[in-house]
Structure 1
């Protein structure tokens, strides 16, 4: 629970602000208001409040001096004097409210404080998210050669990829294209739930696989739904045992 300290030498204004803050943000823990800079500094050291609502002109120490001692708390200045605005923001104030503060203006200040108070993800969590491959990161489109032209081809159209010298052939139901990527470069970019390497020269789209066949010598082939067959090497056969 966030705690807040109000410091204002006008007692009634401090009490009114406390009531309005409670109505707008009931989860806040309101510390008893103080009415001079010396008391504010003492409460700041003792309670370590999260938020400070400070008048600027106060006896003892002014609000700017109190704010200078608040290394952790976020500060909102509440004052009848607009000439301190630049100094207030130099002191890293979150907001600067001019008296009399309207309900709408106070509500916007509270909304900003609430938004900034949302917990931020830990750095370790962010790094894990960056390291984990997101679904959207899998390759969706290919730039393929078609005659003298280059076109975009959806990866969903691909039946299989076949290694061809320095290139890779992209084979769809009705066409063959060339791309300047090796199978080794291509495989990590493909969704493993949709594509699998079946041979050092082939990657197949799993949705086009109909069955696995074996001959009398135990050699296996991947049969596609359109009748084409591709070699399945022993080193990649384990994935297809359930089939």
Structure 2
């Protein structure tokens, strides 16, 4: 247990969430040097642990790493915002300046690694409770200094679990069906209320259209084969049990693209 100067009952309880042991220890030492805050034990080493500890320990503030295996910080924050009384969240990040601007705009606290004592103290004082508006801001396209849109790093979807954030690197494909779009990802699928065209415009080179109603992630493309009936099927990495139909009008372009993958 790390020693703290906050010995009173009014101390704010802080849960630290980071998959790196040294990062957890450093944050705990720093929090222990700030009056009015107490580090909770145990600390969380991943997103799933964080959710369980928040439910059990009821922290006032969560210092939340963004880059973690499994559930990342943004996904954890999305789950936390569905609680009746969510803790305040401060993201710990090594993100670039545009991501930091997003955190500032959304009024969610952030710290840049390596964390400094003065920055931590200020962030703890300014920490605010996450809400749907703040999380929506994090998953909107950003703009750089020239006003050009920057693609999101996560796709948000409203499900029975609440708001789910799917990292773009876990996405396999988008499939349109009537008014909704199905997003298939490594962990399953969700429904989106946004058109394929807007997704194609936003993510540009990362997506490839294989059908009028289907976009696939370029980096997931593995192989294309023709069936005995003359239909073209595309196999994606991470979708071993299934394949996707490619329309004839997109076959030539897809073949050309695959020569350079």
Which bracket does the TM-score occupy, shorter chain normalised?
0.3 to 0.5
TM-score with structure 1 length normalisation? 0.42
Bigger-Rg structure (1/2) = 1
TM-score with structure 2 length normalisation? 0.39
